Amino acid sequence: MIALTKSQLGVINPLWHKSIHSPYTKINSKWVNDLNIKKETIRKLGKHRMSDLWEGKDFKTKQELERVTKCKINNLEYIKLTSFCKNKTNVTKIRRVATNWETIFIKTSDKGLITQIYKELNQLYKKSSHSPIDKWAKDMNRQFSAKEIKTINKHMKKCSTSLIIREMQIKTTLRYHLTPSRLANMTAMESNECWRGCGKVGTLIHFWWSCELIQPFWRAIWNYAQRVIKDCLPFDPAIALLGLYPKEIIRKKTHTRIFIAALFVVAKNWKTRRCPSIGEWLNKLWYMLVMESYCAKRNNKVEEFHGDWNNLQEVMQSERSRTRKTLYTETDTLW
Ligand SMILES: [Zn+2]
């Protein structure tokens, strides 16, 4: 069987922990003794549980209680019991739905107990998935197949030779960046609205993709990507954020460079209240090109490098001549 720590047991089964009042707490437990109810009455009530004190939505009347327990109950004792059970803090504990653990352990017979515990523990371990890819799947409202998950993981490890370029891919996939909704969860104080001021809830997928201040930027990036490859690419966050391309796309390397430069720009503008500019993206892309050219020179793979960056270089050059701005540095040493 799976070994559990004391704190884990406390979380999964409140009956074993501080909280005494649950639907299954027996009436003769310690707190009733504190109410100064006659020992005789408690002894008779003792075999019943807290939830037995209610009849549907209402607390049982004195007569009903006497009929069920088959013993006379003093008026004052009935009032003490009622006011205790019906006060706001206790009623939420007693009237809540019992957890699976409570239901399992309350059974008097041991038959099938181990099987039930085993099933419940299995559920527990299934529920607490901390895989970032599972969370992305939930955010993007879709399911990834085992093959797709493998592709995402592979992409994270192998998308570039240069560490600085790989870093952004890893940070994005592993959900590294803080968001208002996460901060709100952690501190219970902050508002969970988008920092860019669009008024929507600032989740991770919102910041990376669906925020209205980021969407025009991604549309523009998609235009560039399609111009470079001269191929149709579906407008899908999984492609840019996780590197999950449709099967028919062949030149993934070039696309990935475009998207990672875009990720850098979005991350840099995480809290600014404007749409990132294409100029920033081109600068970043140029910087990546410089980094990779050094890598290629060091590893004697210059030819491969020129093949990879050829199309992108054309787009960047044409963009520069169009805007007539000196966006890039170190051009001459590279080409
Ligand atoms: Zn927003």
Closest CA to 42 of 14, 80, 91: 80
**Do strands 54-55 and 58-59 pair parallel, antiparallel, or not at all (unpaired)?**
antiparallel
319 CA distance to ligand 1 centroid (A)? 29
Which residue has tokens 């559920």? 123
Assign 248 to helix, strand or coil. Answer: coil
Query: Do residues 149 and 143 lie in contact, with contact meaning Cβ atoms separated by under 8 Å?
Result: no
How many helices and strands in the chain, by DSSP H and E? 19, 2
202 CA distance to ligand 1 centroid (A)? 6
194 CA distance to ligand 1 centroid (A)? 5
327 CA distance to ligand 1 centroid (A)? 28
Residue 201 in tokens: 């809830």
**Partners of residue 58 on adjacent β-strands:** 55
91 CA distance to ligand 1 centroid (A)? 41
143 CA distance to ligand 1 centroid (A)? 25
167 CA distance to ligand 1 centroid (A)? 24
- pLDDT at position 189 is 61
Which residue has tokens 């075999």? 47
Closest CA to 255 of 284, 279, 231: 231
Domain ranges for the chain: 6-126, 132-334
The conformation of residue 97, written as its DSSP 8-state character, comes to P
Helix or strand run (H / E) with residue 192:
none
205 CA distance to ligand 1 centroid (A)? 10
- pLDDT at position 206 is 92
28 CA distance to ligand 1 centroid (A)? 55
Residue 38 in tokens: 């006659």
134 CA distance to ligand 1 centroid (A)? 23
175 CA distance to ligand 1 centroid (A)? 17
Query: Do residues 93 and 22 lie in contact, with contact meaning Cβ atoms separated by under 8 Å?
Result: yes
257 CA distance to ligand 1 centroid (A)? 25
- pLDDT at position 226 is 84
Residue 44 in tokens: 């008779």
Angle between helix 302-323 and helix 278-298 axes, rounded to 10 deg: 160
70 CA distance to ligand 1 centroid (A)? 64
Which amino acid is it at 218?
Answer: W
Distance CA 51, CA 94 (A): 7
Which amino acid is it at 18?
Answer: K
302 CA distance to ligand 1 centroid (A)? 42
Helix or strand run (H / E) with residue 59:
strand 58-59
Distance CA 66, CA 328 (A): 88
144 CA distance to ligand 1 centroid (A)? 26
Reported residue count of the chain is 335
The conformation of residue 201, written as its DSSP 8-state character, comes to B
Q: Mean pLDDT in runs of 10 for the chain (335 residues)?
A: 47 44 71 70 75 79 81 82 78 75 76 83 69 86 87 74 75 84 73 85 90 92 83 87 84 83 91 87 85 83 77 74 54 42
Q: Is 99 exposed, middle or buried (0-12, 13-18, 19+ CB in 10 A)?
A: middle
210 CA distance to ligand 1 centroid (A)? 7
Residue 27 in tokens: 């009436």
